[in-house]
Chains A and B, each alone.
Chain A
Amino acid sequence: MSDFVSRLPKIYGMYTGGFIAFVVILAIAEQMGLPNVWIGYVFMAATIGLYAMIGIMSRTAETDEYYVAGRRVPAVFNGMATGADWMSAASFIGMAGTLYAQGYDGLAFVMGWTGGYVLVALFLAPYLRKFGQYTIPDFLGTRYGGNLPRTIGIICAITASFTYVIAQIYGAGIITSRFLGIDLATGVWVGLCGVLVCSLLGGMRAVTWTQVAQYIILIIAYLVPVVWLSIKVTGNPVPQIAYGEVLQQIGTLEQQLGVTAGHATPFAKNDMVNFIALTFCLMVGTAALPHILMRFFTTPSVKEARKSVGWSLFFIFLLYFTAPAYAAFAKFEVYSNVVGQSIAALPAWVASWSNVGLVSICDALDAAATIKGCAANGNGDGILQLSELVLNADVIVLATPEIAGLPYVIAGLVAAGGLAAALSTADGLLLTISNALSHDMYYKMINPSATTKKRLIVARVILLGVAAVAAYAASHAPATILAIVAWAFSIAAAAFFPALVLGIFWKRANKAGAVAGMIVGFGITLYYLINVKFFGMQPWFGIKDVSAGIFGIPLGFLTIWIVSLMTREPAQEIKDLVEDLRYPRLVRS
């Protein structure tokens, strides 16, 4: 076993080299005339085949392996797996686009989705690892006693994870359908197969080692085009440093174009209160999403769990601090080479993406009526004004290879990266949902005498069922679902964070308090979300629906505190359990 662990750096080193060689060979093949369609096919087949191979090699019939990868994932590798688990299609494809559109105001996502790891490190990861069970509902059930806290935990975990997993399968479906030339519904099912080959056979073990492989692909795919763009625009190969001067040039261009709220101007698109509330909800939500927290059950020790949070954030940081650079370079290209050109002389990528419907040129006098995506009529002067250009946020990352004039193989690479991001997150989420049902509900509550073999069969059947339902939802009602994905953060934050943190830091917190707190946090958040979004309720203090957790989180804490003090103290053995959590190894006198 330790032999396997010590060989990991070598295995993944060779894998990375092999992947780069693969891309280079494809690039050469492209120059020799391999058609673009084939490059798409080869990328999809090779990466999905690779994940399947890792999945098959990691198949397992042991519970510890299936649920927590044998608890021997070293900190660095758990960091990479957490990074891939964490970064979804939204991070990979959507984040740079949001930053392009919103400038400073998009940074709420950058800070929110990284700052949350400070909370994970300080309040949760080491203590949950010391607790040493399999799932988050396990912790709630043991700490607060009885099936009620566990059941509420299961419901919250499934609600938060399910909306999120649908979006991932949908994202995987878009990418496969674009690059394989099949329709979206079929693409969704192809993407689903890519998810299932890993998680079904080997559970957490297969998912972990696949996620490490997926992280390597997605980070290479993200960095290559933006480094290229950086060299092209500034001559500096480190885009994260180089885009400072590009921001200044953007500022100059904005003045010429008459843009009043510049790229770096705070609170142009979102007021300060909502910006702070959103950042806070995303942070606390990060620290409460069960599929992330359960990754810290897989490290060999508390010490490794602490280190592992650092590695996780470092690997996530690599992508997140590149995203604003991505957005800045794209904006610079658009402002200097697209806006103000005559319509006939626009770069080729504008035309190719308008065909897909992600870019719209609205110069025509009747644009709003005749051209898809145009909200207003243009002035018909044959010159593209800034207001006549409509860009879908998702286009920024996907079109950058073409904006920078890179070979098609890079576009294939970016697609493979996006697919890796979507599949890895979907894997982690599906596993969370099926574990909640098979381990927490079936084994712990319905049939505690089930044999290991039976438990794992039940886990796999449930996994298949959940995956099929998610894929069905993804291919039928994606619009509504994408709109509510951000809710997962507020829901998880309000439902779990208070009960988890107080469960560790306050011995007096008891079952009644936790149950009431979780119901109030979850209930208020859901009530606010649904009423503001669908029933036109007047927002409280002008807070937007995505930041609903700003009410649910403090109310959750308050409820646990008040109800716990009004009811009986927890038993001495529970207090001893909490005491034990606080020390990595405790020998009592």
Chain B
Amino acid sequence: MSAPVTEERRKEYWRRTLRITAILLSIWFVVTYVVIYFAVPLNQFSFMGFPFAFYMGAQGALIVYVILIVFYARYMNKLDREFGVAEEG
């Protein structure tokens, strides 16, 4: 698997990397800042016994962060193999 990667494939790999980065970053932005911005109205809703905005700040956003990072690691490791740039060849 040490075949050279063509210029075109390299560009495609980087484009896909940037796309997943942008998508995950938008989710990060929404669960953090959009929820903070609407914290007062969102707190009217109850979630598992918690006011919703409080729940998001104390647990919900954190769980999403962990999922985002784990998803990114898996997605990228798969992408590496697909494009022949994975370390273990």
Q: For residue A110, which residues in chain B have a CB less than 8 angstroms away from its CB?
A: 57-58, 62
The answer to whether B65 and A115 have CB atoms under 8 Å apart is: yes
The distance from the CB of A137 to the nearest CB of chain B, in whole angstroms, is 25
The answer to whether A589 and B58 have CB atoms under 8 Å apart is: no
Indicate with 1 or 0, residue by residue over A114-143, a CB within 8 angstroms of chain B CB atoms. 110110011100100000000000000000
Given known A301-B87, A582-B17, contact A306–B50 (CB-CB < 8 A): no
Given known A306-B77, A589-B5, contact A107–B54 (CB-CB < 8 A): yes
Given known A121-B73, A314-B66, contact A303–B50 (CB-CB < 8 A): no
Q: How far is B21's CA from A264's CA once the two chains are assembled, in angstroms?
A: 33
The answer to whether B53 and A117 have CB atoms under 8 Å apart is: no
The answer to whether A104 and B76 have CB atoms under 8 Å apart is: no
Among B24, B49, B57, B80, residue most surrounded by chain A Cβ atoms (within 10 Å): B57
The answer to whether A245 and B66 have CB atoms under 8 Å apart is: no
Interchain Cβ contacts within 8 Å, total number: 143
Q: How far is B89's CA from A280's CA once the two chains are assembled, in angstroms?
A: 39
The answer to whether B51 and A121 have CB atoms under 8 Å apart is: no
Q: How far is B33's CA from A111's CA once the two chains are assembled, in angstroms?
A: 10
The answer to whether A309 and B87 have CB atoms under 8 Å apart is: no
The answer to whether B69 and A266 have CB atoms under 8 Å apart is: no
Q: For residue A301, which residues in chain B have a CB less than 8 angstroms away from its CB?
A: 87-88
Q: For residue B70, which residues in chain A have a CB less than 8 angstroms away from its CB?
A: 310
Q: How far is B36's CA from A386's CA once the two chains are assembled, in angstroms?
A: 29
Given known A279-B36, A587-B5, A588-B4, contact A114–B73 (CB-CB < 8 A): no
Interface size class of B (residues with CB under 8 A): 35 or more
Flag whether A442 is at the interface (Cβ < 8 A): no
Nearest residue, chain B, Cβ from A248:
B49
The distance from the CB of B22 to the nearest CB of chain A, in whole angstroms, is 9
The answer to whether A241 and B48 have CB atoms under 8 Å apart is: yes
Among B17, B24, B55, B87, residue most surrounded by chain A Cβ atoms (within 10 Å): B87
Indicate with 1 or 0, residue by residue over A261-296, a CB within 8 angstroms of chain B CB atoms. 000111100001001100110010000000000000
Chief secondary structure at chain A's binding surface: helix
The answer to whether B36 and A272 have CB atoms under 8 Å apart is: yes
Q: How far is B76's CA from A583's CA once the two chains are assembled, in angstroms?
A: 10
Checking A241, A248, A307, A320 against B73 with a beta-carbon cut-off of 8 angstroms, the contacting residue is: A307
Cβ < 8 Å to A, chain B residues 3-33 = 3-7, 10, 13-14, 17, 21, 24-25, 28, 32-33
The answer to whether B49 and A247 have CB atoms under 8 Å apart is: yes
The answer to whether B87 and A302 have CB atoms under 8 Å apart is: yes
The distance from the CB of B61 to the nearest CB of chain A, in whole angstroms, is 5
Q: For residue A314, which residues in chain B have a CB less than 8 angstroms away from its CB?
A: 66
Indicate with 1 or 0, residue by residue over A165-200, a CB within 8 angstroms of chain B CB atoms. 000000000000000000000000000000000000
Flag whether A428 is at the interface (Cβ < 8 A): no
Indicate with 1 or 0, residue by residue over A552-589, a CB within 8 angstroms of chain B CB atoms. 00000000000000000000000000010011111111
Q: For residue A587, which residues in chain B have a CB less than 8 angstroms away from its CB?
A: 2-5
Q: How far is B14's CA from A306's CA once the two chains are assembled, in angstroms?
A: 16
Nearest residue, chain B, Cβ from A589:
B4
The answer to whether A104 and B39 have CB atoms under 8 Å apart is: yes
The distance from the CB of B54 to the nearest CB of chain A, in whole angstroms, is 4
Cβ < 8 Å to A, chain B residues 59-82 = 59, 61-63, 65-66, 68-70, 72-73, 76-77, 80
Flag whether A349 is at the interface (Cβ < 8 A): no
Interface size class of A (residues with CB under 8 A): 35 or more
Given known A321-B58, A584-B85, A589-B6, contact A117–B65 (CB-CB < 8 A): yes
Q: For residue B13, which residues in chain A have a CB less than 8 angstroms away from its CB?
A: 582-583
Flag whether A407 is at the interface (Cβ < 8 A): no
Q: For residue A247, which residues in chain B have a CB less than 8 angstroms away from its CB?
A: 49-51, 54
The answer to whether B43 and A118 have CB atoms under 8 Å apart is: no
Q: For residue B59, which residues in chain A have a CB less than 8 angstroms away from its CB?
A: 240, 321, 324
Checking A111, A122, A586 against B61 with a beta-carbon cut-off of 8 angstroms, the contacting residue is: A111
Q: For residue A276, which residues in chain B have a CB less than 8 angstroms away from its CB?
A: 33, 36-37
Q: How far is B41's CA from A267's CA once the two chains are assembled, in angstroms?
A: 12
Q: How far is B39's CA from A560's CA once the two chains are assembled, in angstroms?
A: 35
The distance from the CB of A588 to the nearest CB of chain B, in whole angstroms, is 6
Nearest residue, chain A, Cβ from B40:
A266
Q: For residue A275, which residues in chain B have a CB less than 8 angstroms away from its CB?
A: 36
Q: How far is B51's CA from A104's CA once the two chains are assembled, in angstroms?
A: 10
Flag whether A313 is at the interface (Cβ < 8 A): yes
Q: For residue B73, which residues in chain A have a CB less than 8 angstroms away from its CB?
A: 121, 303, 306-307, 309-310
Q: For residue B51, which residues in chain A have a CB less than 8 angstroms away from its CB?
A: 247, 264
Q: How far is B58's CA from A244's CA once the two chains are assembled, in angstroms?
A: 11
The answer to whether B57 and A107 have CB atoms under 8 Å apart is: yes
The answer to whether B62 and A114 have CB atoms under 8 Å apart is: yes
The distance from the CB of A302 to the nearest CB of chain B, in whole angstroms, is 6
The answer to whether A264 and B43 have CB atoms under 8 Å apart is: yes
Q: How far is B1's CA from A139's CA once the two chains are assembled, in angstroms?
A: 29
Nearest residue, chain A, Cβ from B83:
A583
Flag whether A472 is at the interface (Cβ < 8 A): no
Q: For residue A12, which residues in chain B have a CB less than 8 angstroms away from its CB?
A: none
Q: How far is B53's CA from A247's CA once the two chains are assembled, in angstroms?
A: 13
Q: For residue A579, which residues in chain B have a CB less than 8 angstroms away from its CB?
A: 10
A-B contact pairs, 16 of them (CB 8 A): A118-B24, A118-B69, A248-B49, A264-B53, A266-B40, A272-B36, A276-B36, A301-B88, A313-B65, A313-B66, A582-B13, A584-B80, A586-B5, A586-B85, A589-B5, A589-B7
Known: A104-B57, A118-B24, A307-B73. 19 other contacts (CB 8 A): A114-B62, A115-B28, A118-B28, A121-B68, A244-B48, A264-B43, A266-B43, A275-B36, A276-B36, A276-B37, A280-B33, A301-B88, A582-B17, A583-B10, A583-B13, A583-B80, A584-B86, A587-B2, A588-B5
Binding site for B on A (CB under 8 A): 104, 107, 110-111, 114-115, 117-118, 121-123, 126, 240-241, 244-245, 247-248, 264-267, 272, 275-276, 279-280, 283, 301-303, 306-307, 309-310, 313-314, 317, 320-321, 324, 579, 582-589
